[in-house]
Chains A and B, each alone.
Chain A
Amino acid sequence: MKSPIHNAAAIAGIGQTAYTKKSGVSELALATEAVRKAIDDAGLKPSEVDGLVTYTMDSSDEVEVARAVGIGDMTFWSKVNYGGGAAVGLVAHAAMAVATGMAKNVVVYRALNGRSGQRMGQGVSGQIISSDLIHWSWYMPFGLLTPASWIALQAKLYMHKYGATVEHLAHVAITQRMHAQNNPNAAMRGKPMTMDDYMNARMICEPLRLFDCCQEDDGGCALLVTSAERAKDMKQKPAVIRGVTQASFEGQEQMTSFYRDDLAWLPEMELAGKIVYEQSGLGPKDIDAACLYDAFTPEVLMQLEAYGFCGRGEAKDFVTDKSLTLGGALPNNTHGGLLSEAYLHGVNNLAEGVRLIRGTSCNQPDGVEHVLVTSGVGVPTGAVIFGQA
């Protein structure tokens, strides 16, 4: 049975700032610019927005954004936890709000000075938020301090178990770098990458080399979520939400779910896939393009399996130098993704999902009906399927 969320809400506007290494402005300034652009893109006035959703990690509170942008009365706001795992969750919360009438038009946003301000790759410290402290205490003293180190442990086992190699990881990185060459807003535009470039980059945490890891950037990105009905009368072609969910699986930890039977598998992603396919009545064969969360290249391989694009352990056979691009089996991260466009914590991947439905991607495949976008890997996560109105 299709879920009540099926086709209830749509993305009617997207907004983004320039993605840079040094914005020179506050995170709140980035947030307001992105939010305002998303509202303009939908053809609405700020006063017509009555809800806001962001990340618990975002430094710009909803009312600060609302006041700066000129959003008036609000009836709904929320924040979603777990870093990049929040991305799709923002859309899920907003979609629930508009589907139930809690709000009419909700903007979801994420803005960060991820390079010039607080950087993610610099490691967790004893000073982080206290509710997490005890969890991190099992890793910090051992030097497991960065997302790359946590993901590398899982990637190592995955590759060992199924015989995937660094060449398979390289295909993901190189394809997305190629996509970024057509994207005027991509940080890696003008920097194409060869297999030699990839192999010669420094080792970060084995098996992850530098270009297996996403960048650090400054920028903001926002989406306007409204009901599918109202979206029809707005300025842009809507991206209708066919299904959307958050997903945390038994034994879940934040980045360190090392205690489950099979570390070479992403059960929270499998769960998210099962739910959005059920909600939408669709399956992997119906997905024409994807934006699979790509903070690190092995995550893309493991998601291809979790979402059923290939069998368990078969991503290495699925991934070639052409399979993830236009004309391939699954054009993926056609904007360059977190690896080569910018690390906007996944909201920029959602924006690309919307562009793919609109037909306005910088690398637009033909005849896109359905796009799958996912949230962070290794954390409580989520997935959404966008479709045509």
Chain B
Amino acid sequence: MSKASELHHTGLIGSQPQPDDTVQAKIAYAEEGFSTAWLIAPATIWLILFLVVPLLSIVVFSFWENTPEGLVPAFSLEFYGEYFFTKGFFDPESDRFLLPSVFIRTLGSTVYFTLVTMLLCLIVGYPIAYFLAMQVQAFKWQLALFLLCMVPFWTSYLIRAVAWLPMLGRRGLINQALLGMGIVDKPVSFLFYSEFGYTMALVQIYVVLGIGPIFFSLAKIPKDILEAATDMGATPFQIFREIIGPMSLPGVAIGMIFIFVMIMGEFATAVVVYGGKTSTAGTVILNYYGIANYPFAAVNALMLMLAMVVGIVVILRIVDIRKEL
């Protein structure tokens, strides 16, 4: 046993086996040659070309000027000022005194919708993942049911969003049922093109992104630990609080990061299911792109990205996902 523990060291991503001499020799060989470099080259080139360069160009564009003659390279902070400050912000007389700019408010409401959806996804998704991992015993059934969760992804995103109309619309299934049963005498409209419908659609579309990682982290919990706890007289609640909950946290965090990133950049659902009745950070970018004001669209894109980075850092601060890996 002691020999085995000596073979472990704490690496970046948790406990790793200590490589023995032959492994080290192989690593040395790899470092001398170029095989590793070749392996990562395609991904690196791909990312540099299609991620780093576009990203840098967004940063560069955000400082350009938008003149009647088109875009002019410059170092202008005009659009950053536009983003953060509203006329009358510092003026106690103004009705806009200390009212954040519409862009900050839009980003704020985007974050709010995202957090609400994340919470709902957790409430809905966790029990599903729990059921799959803990209650379904046979692996083939676990897999089958998990794939079933993925079925909506077989259709296009837009179809999933549009499909709510026949369900929730004025002439949709639910309204027909309510009318038919005499519960209402005219169609209710809060179901669709509403905050309710919007949130529901977001949860339905993105909850699977949460179920996956939570399922995997739950499935990794050794069953004998749970049995041991039961034998020691722990109540189901205690087992959940002391063992299952903490051990599934990394999966929860990863799932939440997926959902967070997706919904922060969301704009199509707002148009299709909310009827365009709200702005998200994404629709603002789209609007300014639409009038060819690329610098301001770039500023908005950068601020959205910044908000996403902050969000991810916060999630990672709360949960140490390295345990998961």
* A, B assembled together: no
Interface residues of A, Cβ cutoff 8 Å to B: none
Interface residues of B, Cβ cutoff 8 Å to A: none
